[in-house]
Each structure stands twice: as structure tokens, then as C-alpha cells.
Amino acid sequence: MLFDYAETSPWFSHLFLFPHPFVMYFLRQTVDGTGRTITSPNYPNNYPSNQRCSWIIQALNPEATLEVECDDFDVTDCKDRMVIKENRKVMATFCGTGKQSYKSTGNRIVIKFRTNGSNTGKGFSCTVRIPESTVTSSTTDTCQCGVANPSRIVGGQEVDPKNKYPWQVGIMYNGGSNYWCGGSVINNKYILTAAHCVKGDDASSLVVGVADHDMSSTTDDVPGVTDLKSVEQIIIHYGYGSNGYDYDIALLKLKETLDLSQYEQIRPVCLPADDSQTYEGVMAIASGWGTLYSGGPQPSTLNEVSVPILAPSCPGMSGITANMLCAGLQEGGKDTCQGDSGGPLFVEENTKYTQVGITSWGFGCAGENSPGVYARVSKFLPWIISNTADATYCQ
């Protein structure tokens, strides 16, 4: 499976010290050797002069390397050139004509293409992939994302069987008894949740419940698996708080690394691969321990509900930004509610589940023409990856 993301926003270019727009891709290992193709501007026609282009390409597996193959390369004037960097050090410079190739020493490269000359060439088409030799890593053989365990939510039902969605977690205060927000396992060290759930809290005051189903009972706990994990660090998106519920996303770094391959009750959810996907019309699942109706009782067991994802404009709703998505029925009756915040909204893609939203806000619960609003996960992929660089992602 290929995991990629294109990013051109100014804040991210400042973060990585690029003064001009660039594209960022994240790659997962693929047995069939597929990869990401990058091309020069206007390819296969001649590229324009005075261009500055950059691509940041990173393998999600920190042990992987990258391979660049340029089967078509025509940069005749060597005033124009392609440069490949690792750790800010120039590792290769290409110009002229003919095939070019490069093999990295690490899991991240930066490719820059600069044109100065007036005599431009056809340019290039290059494929970046993870070599097959690195696909045999034990983490990719035994650790998979988005794999469910098959056989506040309003209008939903109790999750059956328990631990069906092994990425689901609950957040509570240390010494507490109820989950007041949800979250999801995305790798072996971090939980994805909503910023408004943890804003103003100290990491030491929080615990995360993993592999749990009935939060009021221990009789259904999985021995050695169901547990409350301590939180080492809270990372809130820097954009949160300046514009209502925009940028409502946060990460919780756990003190203890999760074993994502030994127990089926703890697995990560997959992250979306394509930011151009709106998922409009797709049925999604939301899960949590939230109240059964606005101001109502909180169930002790994990509930789930299926709702359709609406158009990006979210007709009839105000305060919607590009960082959000809406899901719900026009007639109401099914929705997330108080206590479900921070939990995942996920869809099935190629037999695996991908998290597309984080439960964020809404006007009441399950009202007519009043869908739930979720943080759109695909908009935050660079932020997520850059803040979880010390973690291992499953394939």
C-alpha cells in the first residue's frame, strides 16, 4: 500500500525551512515494488526557467531506505540541476541526459530541482520506492493497521464482539472511573484525539484505557492486555484555540510502548492516504462511550453508530472549515454525543479501516439537519508524522 500526502501550505514550508512551495510524500512498504512518481514542471514538455521545486519523501518505517530511479532524465543545461539531500547534506547532483538513480542511507530524503538557464530540457520522471529488501522487516510482517476483530453514540448499538475496534481507547483522569473522551491508537507510542479534550490538562493527570469494552467492570478485561496507560506528553496543534473548534486535534505520547503485533485487542487504525478524498457519501463508523442522548446517561460499554459523510461544504452548518468534515442523517437520529469527543470516525477501505475524522463538535446530538462535525484527519498528516517521528507505524 502506498501512503502519500501532498502539502504546499506556508506554515509547513516554514517548519522545514523551505522558502518556496514543496510536496511531501509518506511511503509505506509495498511487496510489488510500487512507489511514488515525481515529475518536473510541465513534463513531458520542456520545464520553464527560474523554477524552485522540492519534494520531501519519507518512509513510515524508520528502518527502511529509499530508492530513486529516473528512467527519463533530460536536464541538458547544467545550470539546471536536481539535488538529493539527506540530513541537509547534499548526497547527489544530477544534470545532463540519461538514466539516473540513487539509494538512500536513511528513511527520508529531500529532492530539489532548480532551473536557472534559458535553455530548458524535457525534464524528468522519477519513481521513489522502498526497496524490496527492506520490506521483509519484522514490523511489517506482523504489525498491520486497520484490522478489526469481526465476529456518546445516539441511535447506535453496543459494539459486538468486544474489542472489535482494537484502536479505540478511552481517556480518563488518573484515579477516575469514567472515560470522558475517546481516542485512537495510530502507532506504538501515540494516541490521536481532539485538542479540546486535553487542553489545559497535565500529562501526569491523564490515563488512557486500551483494550477495554465495559469501563465499569473488569470481568471482561483481557488479562495482561486491558490496561490504563500513563501519558508522557500532550501535543496540541498550535492552530487550535484561535478559531473556535478549528484545528481540533492532539496527540498523547504514552510512557509505555504498545505491542501492536502480539495481541489482537490492541491494533492501530490506518491513516488516510489521499487528501483529495472527501469521502462524501461514504458510510462511516463512529465509536465511543458518550451519552446516549444530549444530557443523557453514559453507557458503560463501547457503542458504535454508522453515519454517512456529507459534502465538504456541510450544507446548513456554519463555522465549517477545510479542516473539518460532517457526518450524519438529514432526519437526525444517529450521531455522536457528549463523551464521544476525540474518538475516531473511520471507513472501510480494501478490507481495512481508515480513520478519516476525530469527533469534535456539533449543535446538540442527533438533531434534524444538525450533523456531527469531525476534524478531517487527512489535513493534518504532516503534523501527525512530524510529531510522531520516534514511533513505528504498521503497514
Domains, the chain, with CATH or none: 24-129 (2.60.120.290), 163-268 (2.40.10.10), 282-381 (2.40.10.10)
Residue among 104, 137, 184, 341 flagged as catalytic: 341
**Average pLDDT over the chain, rounded to an integer:** 83
Looking at residues 10-28, what average pLDDT do you find? Answer: 40
Q: What angle do CA 288, 169, 271 make, to 5 degrees?
A: 95
Is residue 184 among the annotated active site residues? no
How confident is residue 137, by pLDDT bands cut at 50, 70 and 90? Answer: very low
pLDDT on residue 335: 58
Residue among 74, 80, 212, 248 flagged as catalytic: 248
Looking at residues 307-324, what average pLDDT do you find? Answer: 92
Q: 263-295, pLDDT tens digit by residue?
A: 999 999 999 876 778 999 999 999 998 877 777
Residue among 104, 137, 196, 370 flagged as catalytic: 196
User: Which long-range contacts link 308-311 to residues 24+ away (Cβ below 8 Å)?
Assistant: 308/281, 308/282, 308/283, 308/284, 309/278, 309/279, 309/280, 309/281, 309/282, 309/283, 309/284, 309/347, 309/356, 309/357, 310/280, 310/371, 311/278, 311/280
Is residue 341 among the annotated active site residues? yes
How confident is residue 201, by pLDDT bands cut at 50, 70 and 90? Answer: very high
How confident is residue 156, by pLDDT bands cut at 50, 70 and 90? Answer: low
pLDDT(48) > 70:
yes
